[in-house]
């Protein structure tokens, strides 16, 4: 007998997804819907053709789907599965409206059949548990201590989706794109020092002197240069 009111036998033990996100788990269910729904047992290769998930990832998550009663396996032909009725309804609703309230309600009905999970959801609400705390508690509560981080996070996103625990959902936050903040960015303009043009007139000719001034030249130095040039020109003019 498990703690926290769990009375699951080994055959009824629940496990978490393996290395797939919640959205990919839903893709598998839609793949089963497209391949055979709840009417026909199909193999994994047939589901691969109807989904965007690899054969390996579908295979290793069939045990998760089976343990939570999403699919059932054919007794005399292991490896072939079909959706249960409610799972087919959820997959159909998810395919049409993945964020719809009716879609979430169907998943809620499926997961609510497990009393251990529903009791834990009540505790989450009552104690206002954080996402990090729930991730630590879930494996012990459900009884799957071999869960990987990705699959565990996927199951928590599934819970948040089905039971309206938006504060625990990463998926929900990702689906809502952040508001864009429009900023007017002014291009930085580099002010290059202007080379002054000194024009000196004499009776015989006009002389133009162009100075190339580097940024290191201070205004005081520039004044000294110009003064020296003017003095040299005046001296030259006297000689003429």
Summarize pLDDT for 138-169 with one digit per residue, the tens: 999 999 999 999 999 999 999 999 999 999 98
**Bridge partner residues of 208 (DSSP):** 199
Both 156 and 214 in a single domain? Answer: no
Which range of residues forms the domain containing residue 204? 197-239
Residues 173 and 178: their CA atoms lie apart, in Å, by 9
**Per-residue model confidence (pLDDT) at position 129:** 97
Both 92 and 203 in a single domain? Answer: no
**Per-residue model confidence (pLDDT) at position 149:** 96
pTM above 0.85, yes or no: no
Identify which of 106, 95, 98 has the alpha carbon closest to the alpha carbon of residue 70: 106
Residues 147 and 33: their CA atoms lie apart, in Å, by 26
**Per-residue model confidence (pLDDT) at position 214:** 64
Secondary structure (3-state) at 114? coil
- Residues in the chain predicted with pLDDT less than 70, given as ranges, are 1-12, 171-217, 225, 232-240
**Per-residue model confidence (pLDDT) at position 169:** 80
User: Which of 175, 208, 228 is the endpoint of a domain?
Assistant: 175
Cβ neighbours of residue 158 closer than 8 Å, sequence gap 6 or more: 22, 25, 107, 111
Residues 20 and 57: their CA atoms lie apart, in Å, by 7
Both 20 and 67 in a single domain? Answer: yes
Q: What's the token pair of residue 178?
A: 């952040």
Both 234 and 159 in a single domain? Answer: no
**Bridge partner residues of 80 (DSSP):** 43
Looking at the structure of the chain, the number of domains it has is 2
Both 94 and 207 in a single domain? Answer: no
């Amino acid at each position: 007998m498990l703690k926290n009111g769990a009375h699951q036998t080994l055959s009824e033990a629940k496990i978490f997804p393996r290395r797939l996100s919640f959205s990919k788990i839903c893709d598998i269910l839609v793949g089963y819907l497209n391949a055979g729904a709840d009417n026909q047992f199909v193999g994994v290769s047939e589901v691969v053709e109807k989904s965007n998930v690899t054969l390996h990832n579908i295979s290793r998550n069939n045990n998760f789907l089976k343990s939570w009663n999403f699919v059932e396996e054919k007794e005399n032909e292991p490896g072939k599965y079909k959706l249960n009725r409610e799972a087919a309804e959820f997959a159909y609703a998810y395919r049409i409206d993945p964020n719809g309230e009716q879609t979430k309600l169907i998943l809620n009905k499926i997961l609510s059949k497990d009393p251990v999970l529903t009791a834990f959801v009540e505790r989450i609400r009552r104690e206002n548990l954080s996402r990090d705390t729930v991730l630590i508690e879930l494996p012990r509560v459900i009884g799957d201590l071999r869960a990987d981080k990705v699959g565990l996070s996927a199951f928590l996103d599934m819970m948040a989706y089905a039971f309206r625990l938006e504060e625990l959902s990463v998926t929900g936050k990702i689906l809502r794109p952040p508001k864009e903040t429009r900023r007017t960015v002014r291009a930085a303009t580099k002010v290059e020092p202007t080379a002054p043009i000194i024009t000196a007139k004499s009776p015989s000719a006009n002389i133009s002197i162009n100075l190339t001034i580097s940024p290191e030249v201070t205004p005081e130095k520039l004044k000294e240069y110009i003064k020296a040039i003017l003095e040299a020109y005046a001296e030259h003019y006297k000689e003429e």
